[in-house]
Structure 1
Amino acid sequence: MHAYRSHTCADLNIENKGDAVRLSGWVHRVRDHGGVLFIDLRDHYGMTQVLCDPDSPAFAELEKVRSEWCIRVDGVVKARDESLINAKLPTGEIEVYIREVEVLGAADELPLMVFGDQEYPEETRLRYRYLDLRREKMQANMILRSDVVSSIRQRMWDQKFKEFQTPIITASSPEGARDFLVPSRLHPGKFYALPQAPQQFKQLLMVSGFDKYFQIAPCFRDEDPRADRSPTDFYQLDLEMSFVTQQDVFDTIQPVIAGVFEEFGGGRKVDETWEQISYKDAALWYGSDKPDLRNPIKMQVVSEHFAGSGFAIFAKLLEQDGTEIRAIPAPTGGSRKFCDRMNAFAQKEGLPGMGYIFWREKTADAVAQELGITVKEAQAKLKSGEVEGGMEAAGPLAKNIGPERTEAIRQQLGLNIGDAAFFLGGKPKAFEGVAGRARNVIGEELGLTDKNRFAFAWIVDFPIYEKDEETGKIDFEHNPFSMPQGGMEALQGDPLEVLGYQYDLACNGYELVSGAIRNHRPEIMFKAFEIAGYGEEEVRKRFGGMVNAFQYGAPPHGGCAAGIDRIVMLLADEQNIREVILFPMNQRAEDLMMNAPSDPTSDQLMDLGLRVIPQE
């Protein structure tokens, strides 16, 4: 028999009754039932119930074991009584009567329990990640991650892509985040960088004549952490193709992403049609360039209804250049209680509040005022049907702008009795983010967001440039290496009107994919950088390898990168990306388990010709 096991803890069933077996694993939990010890023995594959009574030679030794001890047991497979069968376990029809036990690894008192669903502080979970990873949910998440990566690889190979590995120690990559720098021992005073992405190398592969490249690439960025972003490193499906248009890239990556979500999405609906939405429209309709389309709410501009109106705040605001008023429709949100909750949300976001109108059945008070009769008479007329109730608009805004403007807003938004609308105003960039978050909250609270769906959309037509409001300087707003739509001719006009062949894929409120058709023409690249204030000499200095390569017959090419961590996070239905990363950093970019970052030794610093200046 094998030194440690004849079967895994998921293998045994009723057909093994009477077999002598050997199992190894961890003690999931121990139960003492009147002197008979029951142990749930767990390994990577599953769970088997083993037991021992005082007649067994192993009983005295087994009495010592505790949760998470690693043990080996020898025993005989027995059928469980019919009333004790556990249908939830593949091994639930049997149990193993222990004849011999060996402790392979005893465990000290546990800082966190593996059995059960107790919540522990993040610091505890990350410091003892190897224990945290033993938990059933974490095991499932990491297996899911492995299976997703395997599926992606197979789907890329099936499309005739070749997998290549690009360097990890390299020069700075043009991705816009902070680099992790690596000092050079052989070249004192100089530094390598860990790649923010394989951007330059994958473009050079296209120049080298490889037609379709991909890799599951590690990327390193010194960023502030967020729930959906690791502060140090992450993995992406990185791909590039030659002689392609933007649509070719979409047609290539869509079946890969859709297939993975269909395979691992647990039966949730995966959109078949992926809409293409301009960056401008996404900001207007959803307040975000990564909209959650499971929520059907679309915001609209309603400035005309407030211009010159009795609501002075909005009316005066609209006298300023570049301002507008936007409405967030809220179907079924037509109650003062809900409107007050959303007003409180806006205040938490740092706003004075959020204007609102809601529509309701016309009250007897309103009918009485309209007809010049008493409320009691109005009630009688409404009850008899002599007067039709209809609807009325309520809320402070409705009173200020009057019934005609209010009705025009209702008709534009397509709302009815029981619905509401919320309003924000100013320069769009200043309030779009809050508006987008308000839209999400409204969709959630009113049950409008379809939780059983993966909703995808391509966000396209990103502007290449932006203008600093204070200095008036033109700089890149998005990827500077995207091909401008219209090529060199587009760069002769207003820079703020120039759009790039750049695109993102949004899913359920997250950016999953980002990419572009690349600017492979040196003369167009130099002009694009010149507009943003970067001379040809600086471009050659910073990106010399790529610029030089483009002078030797570069093909048109483009590609994208899909975030592996975010894909798995969505499939696992997790809210925090650390739940799908094996050994993540904490919020301060610290590895509590391995004690990183750590102080270098004097010898290490001397080798590198470096000196650390103490921080005050």
Structure 2
Amino acid sequence: MAEALNGLKRTMMCGEPREEHVGKKVTLMGWVQRNRKLGGLQFIDLRDRTGIMQVVFGDDVSEDIFEKAKGVRGEYCIAVTGEIVLRSAPNKELSTGMVELKCEDIKILSESETPPIYIKEDLDAAESIRLKYRYLDLRRPDMQNIFMIRNRASKAIRDYLDENGFLEVETPILTKSTPEGARDYLVPSRNYPGMFYALPQSPQIFKQLLMVSGFDRYYQIVKCFRDEDLRANRQPEFTQVDLEMSFVEQDDIMALNEGLIDHVFKTVLGHEVSLPIKRMTFAEAMNSYGSDKPDLRFGMKIQNLTEAVKGVDFKVFSDAIANGGSVRCLVVEGGASMGRKDIDRLGEFVKTYKAKGLAWIKNKEDGIQSPIAKFFKEEEMQKLLDACSAKRGDLVLILADKDSVVLQGLGALRLELAKKLDLIKDKNEFNFTWITEFPLFEYSEEEERYTACHHPFTAPMDEDLDMIETDPGKVRSKAYDLVLNGEELGGGSIRIHDAKLQERMFKALGFTEESAQERFGFLIDAFKFGPPPHGGLAFGLDRMIMFLAGTENIKDVIAFPKNQNAYCYLSEAPNIVDANQLEDLGIAISVKKEEE
């Protein structure tokens, strides 16, 4: 039966007692990790979010207290009062292992059924069970440590930005739908039947309006929402560290955020980030690594063989070059010993990235082994090997196709090889890089028009302004991403603050004056009143915490996440709602029937 506190106060956390506290009388409260009998003594391991403390009941306590302690089971919530004493058998694996609590009194605050999951570190349980009983999953010490890290990181971010003159300003959650990118989550309005709010994908327009308002340094740690098909480490609702600055250029924003990252990693992990962080253009990243978020913890750059194989009588290569594509490769040092089955598996792997097949050459000690060797003269093969600096014992893996297929395929293959060959030696390394000069536009075959790579308010590079109307595909932007170990940690850009340039941008994206006004009218109107030069950046806080906590699963760093299908096992959301609620909103539900 549950007992009331009746004025009893917790005087110390379970993970705090040390040798200097010996002789002190304290009250601890928490959950029972384990209860065991040893000889004439009863031992309870009591746990809270700070750690575990051993509580001992001896023959000097009353029989009632001793019997109550014997009846306590795992996950009971209890309070114990007693004296801190030295342990006769210290446990060096516990921070409190030199001492124990010699208990004088115990209160059972609440009882517990047998939990459906074990409350322990490194739990191996189905994700659906962990998410359904998330409140128990979050009791586990390793999970609680993650959220302590998240708290420290958030505080460090706020401290740094406050010291650098930023104001924390909240922006609306119920706003206008401006579809350009991922789908919006829509919220029906009862007061305006047939009309909808949208949940923000980011505070983009509002933070720019704050710059127009004169709040020259804004930030917030803010929830964002995107109704998109989920992939690994994406959630429908996520948290951004969002900031914007006025009267700055790209270098100013990058330098400030380098300082922010260094401060956070130093505060949370004691890790000093090497500054300034190196930079790489988008073109260099794609050509060398096949990705705009390259993992630089290992080498194996993509190499261009196009010039080296021109004139070779091999149709796969010659056709790719004739069609404006390229022939490129990866060199796997010592990879000539790789078996044919393993190479065939790599060939199947690149086909998932639209590659037609993978050519390969083993530069073995006793000569060349390759299914394409018959198409090469001896000097042509040597020219190819020299072009990619392949040594004896190396394996050359080659793709030939249009550039987008070749680069994406080899970029993915490079990461796959890193896993298979264990190329990342230091798993605790933090390798940062900035990616700059992203394309401003990308062409959508589906929509038959150019779309914004970043968003419609990103400024083009000054030297590319004349190409906005004539050759939009070549226009570079003042956009930048901060990449860590092959993951985008954050990204931003200098914004367009010139109304005429913004009008040119909208036209290039296929917006009429009316459609631009319909979607972004309140920003366009604001820009008539002296907007300052401005730009910003948004970090993915959840992803940042993943790195700080050393986990590879984004669900570990979000208290109550959704599953891969945006479903909440805990609250069973989404779910049906009462018919009266729908009637108030003027909504009728029509469910599509599956085709038979």
Which structure 1 residue ranges, 5 or more long, are not aligned? 364-391
Larger radius of gyration: 1
Indicate which of 122, 129, 133 corresponds to 2:127. Answer: 122
DSSP 3-state at the match of 1:247: helix
Indicate which of 286, 302, 305 corresponds to 1:302. Answer: 305
Partner of 1:407: 382
Shift of 1:59: 1.8
Shift of 1:262: 3.4
Q: How does 1:33-182 map to 2 (within 5 A)?
A: 33-53=38-58, 56-57=61-62, 58-81=65-88, 84-173=89-178, 176-182=181-187
Deviations 1:370-406 (A, max 9, x none): xxxxxxxxxxxxxxxxxxxxxx333323443243233
Q: How does 1:444-593 map to 2 (within 5 A)?
A: 444-449=419-424, 450-469=426-445, 473-486=449-462, 488-593=465-570
Of stretches 591-600 and 478-487 in structure 1, the one that deviates more from structure 2 is 478-487
Q: How does 1:342-421 map to 2 (within 5 A)?
A: 342-350=343-351, 353-361=357-365, 363=366, 392-421=367-396
DSSP 3-state at the match of 1:499: coil
DSSP 3-state at the match of 2:408: helix
Deviations 1:79-122 (A, max 9, x none): 111xx111232321111222322111111121101035330000
Which structure 2 residue ranges, 5 or more long, are not aligned? 1-5
- TM-aligned CA distance change 1:261 to 1:209, over 3 Å: same
Which amino acid is 1:347 matched to?
E
Contact 1:50 1:96 in 2 (8 A): yes
DSSP 3-state at the match of 1:210: coil
Partner of 1:313: 316
Indicate which of 278, 296, 310 corresponds to 1:275. Answer: 278
Cα distance in 1 for partners of 2:196, 2:225 equals 15
Of stretches 140-149 and 514-523 in structure 1, the one that deviates more from structure 2 is 514-523
Partner of 2:3: none
Which amino acid is 1:533 matched to?
G
Partner of 1:435: 410
Contact 1:512 1:563 in 2 (8 A): yes
Q: Is 1:254 aligned to residue 258 of structure 2?
A: yes
DSSP 3-state at the match of 1:491: helix
Of stretches 486-495 and 184-193 in structure 1, the one that deviates more from structure 2 is 486-495
Cα distance in 1 for partners of 2:448, 2:195 equals 35
Contact 2:350 2:410 in 1 (8 A): no
Contact 1:9 1:42 in 2 (8 A): yes
Cα distance in 1 for partners of 2:447, 2:536 equals 34
Cα distance in 1 for partners of 2:251, 2:174 equals 33
Contact 2:320 2:400 in 1 (8 A): yes
Cα distance in 2 for partners of 1:154, 1:326 equals 47
Deviations 1:2-51 (A, max 9, x none): 61422211222223333333211100122232453221101122211012
Partner of 1:425: 400
Of stretches 299-308 and 558-567 in structure 1, the one that deviates more from structure 2 is 299-308
Shift of 1:220: 1.2
Contact 1:173 1:199 in 2 (8 A): no
Contact 1:270 1:453 in 2 (8 A): no
Contact 1:306 1:401 in 2 (8 A): no
Contact 1:4 1:72 in 2 (8 A): no
Cα distance in 1 for partners of 2:149, 2:253 equals 26
Deviations 1:239-286 (A, max 9, x none): 11112111111111111113322333465x744342322222211111
Partner of 1:379: none
Contact 2:258 2:275 in 1 (8 A): no
DSSP 3-state at the match of 1:229: coil
Shift of 1:468: 4.1
Contact 2:177 2:197 in 1 (8 A): yes
Contact 2:441 2:472 in 1 (8 A): yes
Which amino acid is 1:162 matched to?
L
TM-score (norm 1): 0.89
Cα distance in 1 for partners of 2:294, 2:541 equals 19
Which amino acid is 2:405 matched to?
A
Cα distance in 2 for partners of 1:191, 1:54 equals 69
DSSP 3-state at the match of 1:569: helix
Partner of 1:331: 333
- TM-aligned CA distance change 1:402 to 1:454, over 3 Å: farther
Percent of paired sites with the same residue = 39
DSSP 3-state at the match of 1:453: coil
Cα distance in 2 for partners of 1:523, 1:250 equals 27
- TM-aligned CA distance change 1:567 to 1:130, over 3 Å: same
Contact 2:49 2:141 in 1 (8 A): no
